[in-house]
């Protein structure tokens, strides 16, 4: 999971529960618990971002931005496009991407400062998060471009099922908090663990790449002005999405096996089973009691610092048991966000420099993060792999543990979980993190 995740209860180790416990608006807006632990030290704002965080600004040229993000992208791969060959035209040589970085240990966050970006297409690679730094999704705009941020099918030099390339392994990447006006729409041909959220797609949303096999995915808190092409996607979950641009759901759903729509405006009518002419089955759920969005990082208005924005839980005003409530749909403005200055946010870094100048895992990273959590700070994990010797302990109401760039927590080797959340806490958010099991140390006395 790289969205909000399940964690193990600190006082009841056998109990799993969601860390994003919905609270009342009053308790959500309230400050975190009084300081009972170490003295809280103000954190630097702007923080000392590591090299794995790449900040892009509107005054940079498309060439400069392309140079800065190139190391984060999947490797280029030439392929021959035979699509028009049957019409007697010469096959075209094209450049796509391959999956050679499937298991890389590198993690990156591409953070775009508020503004308008013209002529920029950015492939979102393995273990990369692309995010706007605006308070509203419309604060960062990709315009006058073909694709903007995108994910295509990989390995198009190979033909699978009569189609060039595959999207069955376009895992472990994400994009959020921007508006795209790309001429070809938003291409997001992914499979699992590759969410797209808090975006405004001014054109069409394409969840497949010319029919290449795909098995995703998750779209949350979004607006799509055009239609949605599910195409070859086997399954897909949409949650709190405005789909007002879709006029023909039979054409949009395609041949997928399962589609689920939760709290979506203009969602399709539910259908059971698969119909060759009408597409795959779908389920529509309009009445969740509460929706809770992922926290995110934004730039302050002065441009000199950062803030952590924690969206307020959204509750329905009608009782779903008495009458059918209308879906809430998206919320891209952040008008009810709880805004926390980065002076109260610890930015964790996974690696330190050794005596030879090489980056190596920080053996004390668990202690440093837990000291900050004990002091009542929120914690943002910069991109990297964190080898934990102890569980991270979240012990305050409304505390946030947020990962950037698919930050990865590797569990302690004694079998303890990556994260423990204290019993009876409210409003805790754990999001944007990948959790990885460890190889357990052998007990020689057993």
pLDDT, tens digit, 9 for 90 and up, residues 6-17: 344 444 443 434
Cα(73)–Cα(124) distance, integer angstroms: 6
Backbone angles phi, psi at 228, to 5 degrees: -120, 130
Res 355 pLDDT > 90: no
Q: How many CA atoms lie within 13 A of 395 on its CB side?
A: 17
Mean pLDDT, to the nearest integer, of 378-400? Answer: 98
What is the percent of the chain with per-residue pLDDT over 70, rounded to a whole number? 85
16-18 and 6-9 as β-strands: parallel, antiparallel, unpaired? antiparallel
Identify the bridge partners of residue 65 per DSSP, sorted by sequence position.
none
Query: Beta-carbon neighbour count of residue 67 at 10 Å?
Result: 11
Query: Beta-carbon neighbour count of residue 18 at 10 Å?
Result: 14
Higher pLDDT, 192 or 127: 127
Res 108 pLDDT > 90: yes
What is the percent of the chain with per-residue pLDDT over 90, rounded to a whole number? 70
| pLDDT for position 85 | 60
Q: Is 138 helix (H, G, I), strand (E, B) or coil?
A: helix
Q: Which burial class, exposed, middle or buried, applies to 428 when counting CB atoms under 10 A from its CB (0-12, 13-18, 19+)?
A: buried
Closest CA to 167 of 156, 180, 183: 156
282-285 and 258-262 as β-strands: parallel, antiparallel, unpaired? parallel
| pLDDT for position 102 | 92
Q: What is the CA radius of gyration of the chain?
A: 22
Q: Which burial class, exposed, middle or buried, applies to 121 when counting CB atoms under 10 A from its CB (0-12, 13-18, 19+)?
A: middle
Please state whether 33 falls in left (phi above 0), alpha (psi between -120 and 50) or beta: beta
pLDDT in tens, 191-231: 989 999 999 999 999 999 999 999 989 999 999 999 999 99
Q: Provide the pLDDT confidence category of residue 442 given band limits of 50, 70 and 90.
A: confident
Query: Distance between the two ends of the chain, CA-based, in angstroms?
Result: 34
pLDDT in tens, 290-314: 899 999 999 998 888 999 999 999 9
Mean pLDDT, to the nearest integer, of 330-349? Answer: 96
163-166 and 140-143 as β-strands: parallel, antiparallel, unpaired? unpaired
Average pLDDT taken over every residue of the chain: 88
| Residue 300 near residue 307, CB atoms below 8 Å | yes
Cα 190 to its chain centre, rounded Å, is 12
Lowest mean pLDDT among 49-58, 71-80, 89-98: 89-98
Q: What is the DSSP letter of 396?
A: S
Cα(201)–Cα(134) distance, integer angstroms: 16
Cα(2)–Cα(435) distance, integer angstroms: 8
| pLDDT for position 445 | 63
Please tell me the pTM assigned to this model.
0.90
Sequence-distant (6+) residues with CB within 8 A of 302 are: none
Cα(172)–Cα(123) distance, integer angstroms: 13
pLDDT in tens, 154-178: 999 999 988 999 999 999 999 999 9
Q: What is the DSSP letter of 323?
A: S
Highest mean pLDDT among 18-32, 60-74, 270-284: 60-74
């Amino acid at each position: 999971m790289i969205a909000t995740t399940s964690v193990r209860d600190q006082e009841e180790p056998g109990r799993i529960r969601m860390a994003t416990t919905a609270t009342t608006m009053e308790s959500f807006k309230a400050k975190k618990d009084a300081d009972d632990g170490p003295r809280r030290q103000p954190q630097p704002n702007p923080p000392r971002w590591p090299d794995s965080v790449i900040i892009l600004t509107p005054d940079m040229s498309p060439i400069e931005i392309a140079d800065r993000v190139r190391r984060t992208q999947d490797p280029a791969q030439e392929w021959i496009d035979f699509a028009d060959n049957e019409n007697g035209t010469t096959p075209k040589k094209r450049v796509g991407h391959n999956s050679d970085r499937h298991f890389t240990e590198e993690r990156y966050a591409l953070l775009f400062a508020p503004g308008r970006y013209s002529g920029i297409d950015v492939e979102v690679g393995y273990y990369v998060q692309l995010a706007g730094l605006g308070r509203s999704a419309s604060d960062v705009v990709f315009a006058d471009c073909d694709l903007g941020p995108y994910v295509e099918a990989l390995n198009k030099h190979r033909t699978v099922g009569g189609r060039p390339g595959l999207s069955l392994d376009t895992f472990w990447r994400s994009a959020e908090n921007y508006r795209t006006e790309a001429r070809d729409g938003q291409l997001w041909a992914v499979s699992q663990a590759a969410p797209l959220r808090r975006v405004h797609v001014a054109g069409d949303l394409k969840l497949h790449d010319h029919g290449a096999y795909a098995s995703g995915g998750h779209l949350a808190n979004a607006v799509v002005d055009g239609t949605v092409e599910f195409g070859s996607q086997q399954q897909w979950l949409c949650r709190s999405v405005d789909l007002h641009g879709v006029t023909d759901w039979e054409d949009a759903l395609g041949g997928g096996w399962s589609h689920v729509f939760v709290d979506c405006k203009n969602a399709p009518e539910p259908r059971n089973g698969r119909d060759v002419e009408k597409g795959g089955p779908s389920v529509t759920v309009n009445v969740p009691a509460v929706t809770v969005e992922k926290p995110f990082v934004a730039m302050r208005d002065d441009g000199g610092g950062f803030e952590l924005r924690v969206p307020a839980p959204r509750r329905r005003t009608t009782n779903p048991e008495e009458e059918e409530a209308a879906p809430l749909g998206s919320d891209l403005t952040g008008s009810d966000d709880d805004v926390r200055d980065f002076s109260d946010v610890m930015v964790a870094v996974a690696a330190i420099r050794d005596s030879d100048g090489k980056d190596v895992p920080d053996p004390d990273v668990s202690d440093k993060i837990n000291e900050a959590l004990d002091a009542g700070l929120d914690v943002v994990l910069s991109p990297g792999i964190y080898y934990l010797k102890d569980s991270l302990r979240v012990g305050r109401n409304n505390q946030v543990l947020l990962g950037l760039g698919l930050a990865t927590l590797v569990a302690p080797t004694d079998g303890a979980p990556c994260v423990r959340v204290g019993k009876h806490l409210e409003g805790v958010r754990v999001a944007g993190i990948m959790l990885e099991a460890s190889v357990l140390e052998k007990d020689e006395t057993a």
